[in-house]
Amino acid sequence: MHAFVRWGAAVGSALIVVVVVAVGAVEVLGRRTWSDVPVPPLDVRDDPALVTRGEYLVNSVAHCPACHLPLPEAKTFRPLSRPDLKGGQVWELPFGRIVSANITPSRSHGIGAWSDGEIARVLQSGVRRDGRLSVFMQAGVGALAEDDVVAIIAYLRAQPAIDEPVAESRVSFLGRVLAALAVRPRRDGALAEAPLMEASVERGGYLARGPANCVGCHSPSGIGSGFLPTAPLLAGGLPAPDETDPTMEIVAPNLTPDETGAATYWSEADFVARFRGGRVVAGSAMPWEAFATMTDTDLAAIWRYLRTVEPVRNDVGPTQRPIGSFRLTP
Ligand code: HEC
Ligand code: HEC
C-alpha cells in the first residue's frame, strides 16, 4: 500500500513536470518572433506608373481587399474603386481570433510608420514589423516577384490614411502549439522580375502560385505544412465551414485537367467568362470580386498554365454541401 502510494505520487509528480515543461515550451516557442528574417533594403519611388501597376496587383490579382476589408464589403467590393484597406475582418478559429490589419498609410493605426523593407518582408514571408509571424500573410499571399512587391508598396503608400484602429489578433493556446511546432515563415526564392504580361504558361504559373495564389486554396494544406499548400498541387482543397451558413461546408475544387477537375471540359473562353460572371456561392472564400477585373491576358495565361499541370484524380464532390454529407465511394 505504502509502495503503491509512493509510486502513484512519483508518477503523478513526473506527469505534472512533463505538463509544466510542455506548457512552458509552448508559451515560449509559440510566442517566438522571427526578427532574424532579414528586412530587404528597399527604397520605393513615388512613381505614377508603379502606383498603377500596384493598383492592379493589390485590388485585382492579389485580392488584398478580400481580407483587408470587413465583412460584408470583403465579398462585395468593387476593385476599380480603390477600396480603403482599413482591415477589421474577423476570423474566429480554433487557433485564435484573427483580425486583418489596417494597411492604409495611417501612422497611428496603419503601416505609415513602417519602412518599405518591413512591408516587403511581411508580404514575402509573413513576418510583421515586431517579428511576429502572421499565418494569414504567410499562407494567404503567394510568392511575389520583387518588382511586384515594389509596385504593391508604391500603391499602398499612395492611398489616403484612415486613422481607425482595428482589434489585435489573439492567438489561442492551440495556436501557440501550432506556432511552436509547425508554422514557419515562408522563404521562397523570389523572382527578381515578374514574367511579362502576356498569355504565357510562364506568366500563368507565376500568377497561380504567386499573387493570385490559386494553389493556396485549391491544394490540400493543413497544420502539418504550416497551412502552406502541399502536393498534389491544385488537385482540390479541404472542406471548410461556410461562414454565411453554419449548416454548410465549401470546398475548393480540383483544377487539374483530369476528368474529376472542375474546369477540364471548359474552353479558354468559358474560363474567362466564368471569371467575368463573379460570385455564385455567397460564402465562398474565392475572391471572385477581385478576379473579375483581371485582364483577359492574365486569365488566359492562368488557363494555359492549368492545362499544363499534371492531371490528378480527385473528386472533391459538390463545392457547397451540408456539412459531412459528401463521402467518396470507391
Ligand atoms: C488571407 C487573408 C489575407 C490576404 C489575402 C492578405 N492579407 Fe495582409 N494580413 C492579413 C491579416 C489577418 C493580417 C494581420 C496579422 C495577423 O494577425 O495575421 C495581415 C497583415 C498585413 C500587414 C501587416 C500589418 C500589421 O499591422 O502587422 C500588411 C502590410 C499586409 N497584411 C498587407 C497585405 C497586402 C498588400 C495584401 C495583398 C497583396 C495582403 N495583405 C493580403 C490577412 C490577409
Ligand atoms: C481564398 C481561396 C481561393 C482562392 C485564392 C482561389 N480559389 Fe477558386 N475556389 C475556391 C472555393 C472555395 C471554390 C468553390 C466555391 C465557389 O465556386 O466559389 C472555388 C471555385 C473555383 C472554380 C469553380 C467555379 C465554378 O463555378 O465551378 C474555379 C474554376 C476556380 N475556383 C479557379 C480558381 C483560380 C484559377 C484561382 C486563382 C486565379 C482561384 N480559383 C483562387 C477558393 C479559392
Q: What is the pLDDT of residue 105?
A: 98
Residue nearest to atom 36 of ligand 1 (CA): 64
97 within domain boundaries: yes
pLDDT at site 222: 83
Structural domain ending residue among the three candidates 181, 215, 248: 181
- Atom number in ligand 1 closest to CA 144: 38
Q: How far apart are CA 116 and CA 155, in angstroms?
A: 12
Asked whether the predicted pLDDT for residue 79 surpasses 80, the reply is yes
Residues 66 and 149 in one domain: yes
Same domain, residue pair 253 and 177: no
How many whole angstroms separate alpha carbon 129 and alpha carbon 35? 8
Give nearest CA residue, ligand 1 atom 3. 67
Q: What pLDDT shows up at residue 198?
A: 97
- Among 122, 119, 130, 187, smallest CA distance to 157 is for 119
Q: Look at residue 286 and tell me whether its pLDDT is greater than 90.
A: yes
In this structure, the answer to whether residues 17 and 60 fall within a common structural domain is: no
Of all protein residues, the one whose alpha carbon is nearest to atom 34 of ligand 2 is: 214
Q: What is the pLDDT of residue 176?
A: 93
Say whether both 155 and 69 belong to one domain.
yes
What is the arithmetic mean of pLDDT over 264-278?
98
**pLDDT score for 1:** 58
- Same-domain check for residues 120 and 209: no
Same domain, 59 and 157: yes
Nearest CA to ligand 2 atom 27: 262
270-288: average pLDDT: 97
Question: How many Cα atoms within 13 Å fall on the side-chain side of residue 189?
Answer: 0
Q: By alpha-carbon position, which residue is closest to atom 43 of ligand 2?
A: 286
* Ligand 2 geometric centre to CA of 124 (Å): 23
Domain that holds residue 293: 201-322
What distance in angstroms lies between residue 296's CA and the mean position of ligand 2's atoms? 17
* C-alpha neighbours within 13 Å on the C-beta side of residue 130: 4
- Does residue 330 surpass a pLDDT of 60? no
Residue 23: the pLDDT is 84
Same domain, 246 and 311: yes
Q: How far apart are the first and last CA of the chain?
A: 56
Residue 168 has pLDDT above 70, yes or no: yes
Residue owning the nearest CA to atom 18 of ligand 1: 134
Percent of the chain with pLDDT over 70: 99
Rounded distance between C-alpha atoms, residue 153 and residue 121, angstroms: 11
Q: What is the Å distance from ligand 1's center to 67 Cα?
A: 7
pLDDT (tens digit per residue) in 109-143: 999 999 999 999 999 999 999 999 999 999 999 99
Task: Give the number of the atom of ligand 1 that is nearest the alpha carbon of residue 169.
Answer: 17
Is 218 domain-assigned? yes
Please indicate, yes or no, whether residues 53 and 123 belong to a single structural domain of this protein.
yes
Check if 208 has its Cβ closer than 6 Å to any atom of ligand 2. yes
Q: What is the pLDDT of residues 182-231, one digit of tens each?
A: 889 988 778 999 999 999 999 999 999 999 999 999 999 888 888 899 99
Cβ of residue 250 lying under 6 Å from some atom of ligand 2: yes
Is 19 domain-assigned?
Answer: yes
The answer to the question of residue 9 being in a domain is yes
Cell, residue 10: 512519483
Which residue's CA is the closest to the ligand 2 atom numbered 39? Answer: 214
Residue 82 located in a structural domain: yes
| Tens digit of each residue's pLDDT (9 = 90 or more) over 88-118 | 999 999 999 999 999 999 999 999 999 999 9
| pLDDT surpasses 70 at 266 | yes
Using most ligand atoms within 8 A of CB, pick from 75, 217, 245, 255 the residue to mutate for ligand 2. 217
| Shortest-distance Cα residue to atom 1 of ligand 1 | 140
When pLDDT is averaged across residues 290-294 and rounded to a whole number, the result is 98
Q: How far is the CA of 213 from the centre of ligand 2 (A)?
A: 10
Distance 210 CA to ligand 2 centre (A): 15
Q: Which of 151, 181, 211 is a domain's end point? A: 181
Select the more confidently predicted residue: 12 or 164.
164
Do both 207 and 291 map to the same domain? yes
- Establish whether residue 261 lines the binding site of ligand 2, counting it when its CB lies within 6 angstroms of any ligand atom: no
Q: Is residue 206 part of a domain?
A: yes
In a domain, 329, yes or no: no
What is residue 183's three-state secondary structure? coil
Per 3-state DSSP, what percentage of the chain is helix, strand, and coil (rounded to 5)?
Answer: 40, 5, 55
SS3 (DSSP) at 29 = helix
Ranges of H-type helices in the chain: 2-29, 48-56, 65-68, 116-125, 135-140, 146-157, 173-181, 201-209, 214-218, 268-277, 288-291, 296-308
- For residue 292 and ligand 2, the question of a CB distance below 6 A is answered with no
Mean pLDDT, the chain, as a whole number? Answer: 94
Q: Which of 181, 209, 240 is the last residue of a domain?
A: 181
Average pLDDT rounded to a whole number, residues 20-31: 82
* Rounded distance from Cα 18 to ligand 1 centre (Å): 37
Task: Please name the residue whose Cα sits nearest to atom 27 of ligand 1.
Answer: 128
Assigned domain for 272 exists: yes
Question: Best substitution site from 219, 286, 319 to test ligand 2's pocket, by max atoms within 8 Å of Cβ?
Answer: 286
Rounded Cα–Cα distance for residues 232 and 221 (Å)? 10
pLDDT at 329: 61
Domain count for the chain, please give it.
Answer: 3
